[in-house]
Amino acid sequence: MADDSTGQTLHALADERRTFPPTERIKADALTVDTSLYDEAAEDDEAFWARQAAELLDWDTEWTTVLDWQLPYAKWFVGGKLNVAANCLDRHVAAGLGDRVAIHFEGEPGDTRTITYADLLAEVQRFANALKGLGVEKGDRVNIYLPMIPEAAIAMLACARIGAPHSVVFGGFSSQALADRIDDAEAKVLITADGGHRRGSVFPLKPAADEAVESTTTIEHVVVVKRGDNDVDMVDGRDHWYHELVEAADADCPAEPMDSEDLLFLLYTSGTTGKPKGIMHTTGGYLTQVAFTHKYVFDLHAETDVYWCTADVGWVTGHSYIVYGPLANAATVVMYEGVPNYPGNDRFWDIVEKYKVTKLYTAPTAIRTFMKWGVEEPAKHDLTSLKVIGSVGEPINPEAWMWYREVIGGGECPVVDTWWQTETGGIMISPLPGATTTKPGSATFPLPGISVEVVDEAGNKVERGGGYLTITRPWPGMLRGIWRHPQRYHDAYWGRYPGRYFAGDGAKLDDDGYLWLLGRVDDVMNVSGHRISTTEVESALVSHPAVAEAAVVGATDTTTGQAIIAYVTLRSGASDVQSVGIDDLRNHVAGEIGAIAKPKTIYLTPDLPKTRSGKIMRRLLRDIAEGRNLGDTTTLADASVVDEIAARATATPQED
């Protein structure tokens, strides 16, 4: 943890001494107000999870073994059978909850749809039949590339219903990124839309989908949801309108009983190499953990709550806390299509007031942006319906935490800062609203049934102070592997500290045993809560014909957490900045990966600082990007390079 920026964070956090016990208001009807769940799980974590699985879910066949753990492979609820869609829909309708709203959809232009559990079940059955009609069988992979519209949830549930694992690709990713994911998963069908609404206009999706399908070989059919009403080309025999398929499909589609360990979905995420990895999540354990955590972390009262998670379904937060966790719990969710500042900077608060949202789950980047927009925006709306407010995706600084608590939560709502990852499937570290005394900026403690330890460089347990976050026991929602790369799975997560899952995050334990997450300690950046690997952006830059070499670092940014800064050396003959503009390079990255990976700033430099063994010195580049004093440069092959880069960094204006 010699990193300077982490050192500064540690220092700032050490001064944070405010504490907030649960308020009387929340304790009055909270699901849990004491340590009983923690005590039960500490006694026997397998028995604890087995009780949750039995109470929260319906099983077609009971399991015979709770946990089969052969490090690094875990199997949960072995022998058990269940269907995720049946757990999210059928059983609620059968229990008389058919009229309960499952999804309040709010389109960016202001159009709305109210979808009850009965409606959702009917639509999912028809679409599941439509997929079968296109030849999708149990075990086949289906790619989903959609805007934030109800059809995204419907498509996921339809896949789950027939046992076809889905792979959702965030709609902001480029056609190239989509093609890579289609190829890796060997998907048979792609579900997309003509376009979606964003920032007041329609963004087309179908052209990117077409490009991806043309450059891959496995997609047999493309299903197109009509949303943007933009003109699209439909390929005869290959492309089908969603609404036509659904209209023609049979109404009844029985849910396929799936093995607890059958693959539910793949979700690609960035690691420390240039190639995204297909994180594998299975059925019974995953659904148990997301249902449990959604219920207790948000202190869910499903009959009265209106729950809103502002993430996109393309990320794991959307999978676990827009779709699977909430629907398994028969909750009413709000789903919003667009950006927070359309038509005005108060759109989120307008939505909270309109639907009387009680539980809100958003990201620190959004909170810091709202802080910049000013208290007058939330002040235009009545936010008193809110009861619990959550944060996810990146470390939340104490100032943003306090602002969220005071301005959005009116000082009455517990803030739940939830730490977890695509790989963990569900929330791992978080307060429980009625039971935990919070501290601004701390995710507090591991949830019941979750065992974590902070260790030092050598892997020794740290009782107090900073180190690396590890997980010491298998948990039900844990990834089951990386699709087609078992060795990479072992090496990436279990290789560094024997017997421990290493999460890639730094963490600190304070004197009271509270956990403070400090961000990534590997080559993964966190930009606005989105994981992007430095190597991925470097590969994208190097794939531009004019680029010889590139080094990418994440530099601290007050709004987005980190910002992508690239140092690029052009090929000789292409060194003329006039012919290869910085914007060309930024757009090239957007084309390769997606707009979220566009470097904020690119510095063109004659050379990159390297050690004598040829390793690029990223820490030095980060120091330059963050304007820090440069330390010892004696290990460098050519120290003058650094002065040259530093001079350019001061002289080059920042891009927006």
Q: Which residues bind ligand WTA (CB under 6 A)?
A: 269, 315-317, 392-395, 417-422, 443, 503-505, 517, 519-520, 526, 531
What the block records as the tokens of 615 is 């390793």
CB-nearer residue toward ligand WTA: 142 or 392: 392
CB-nearer residue toward ligand WTA: 269 or 560: 269
Backbone angles phi, psi at 520, to 5 degrees: -75, 145
Pairwise CA distance, residues 643 & 81, whole Å: 63
CB-nearer residue toward ligand WTA: 325 or 395: 395
CB of 526 to ligand WTA, least distance (A): 5
Angle at 202 between CA 200 and CA 205, to 5 degrees: 145
CB of 382 to ligand WTA, least distance (A): 28
CB of 400 to ligand WTA, least distance (A): 12
CB of 366 to ligand WTA, least distance (A): 13
Pairwise CA distance, residues 533 & 237, whole Å: 38
Among positive and negative, which fits the CA dihedral 341, 345, 351, 356?
positive
CB-nearer residue toward ligand WTA: 276 or 609: 276
What the block records as the tokens of 85 is 């869609």
Contact indicator for 639, 646 with CB cutoff of 8 Å:
no
CB-nearer residue toward ligand WTA: 255 or 509: 509
Using a CB cutoff of 8 Å and minimum separation of 24, what contacts does 59-66 make? 59/284, 60/257, 61/257, 63/260, 63/284
User: What is the Cα 109 distance to its own chain's centre?
Assistant: 25
In 571-610, beta strands by DSSP E:
601-604
CB of 438 to ligand WTA, least distance (A): 12
CB-nearer residue toward ligand WTA: 340 or 395: 395
CB of 362 to ligand WTA, least distance (A): 12
CB of 554 to ligand WTA, least distance (A): 11
The single residue listed with the structure tokens 């890639």 is 504
Contact indicator for 72, 489 with CB cutoff of 8 Å:
yes
CB-nearer residue toward ligand WTA: 126 or 166: 166
CB-nearer residue toward ligand WTA: 270 or 345: 270
Burial of residue 587 (CB within 10 Å: 0-12, 13-18, 19+) is middle
CB of 417 to ligand WTA, least distance (A): 5
Contact indicator for 167, 218 with CB cutoff of 8 Å:
no
Neighbouring-strand partners of residue 240: 223
Contact indicator for 333, 320 with CB cutoff of 8 Å:
no
CB-nearer residue toward ligand WTA: 133 or 398: 398
Whether the upstream peptide bond of residue 72 has omega within 30° of 0, thus cis, is: yes
Pairwise CA distance, residues 149 & 193, whole Å: 10
CB-nearer residue toward ligand WTA: 83 or 310: 310
CB of 365 to ligand WTA, least distance (A): 11
Q: How many CB atoms lie within 10 A of CB 344?
A: 12
CB of 424 to ligand WTA, least distance (A): 8
| Tally of residues, the chain | 656
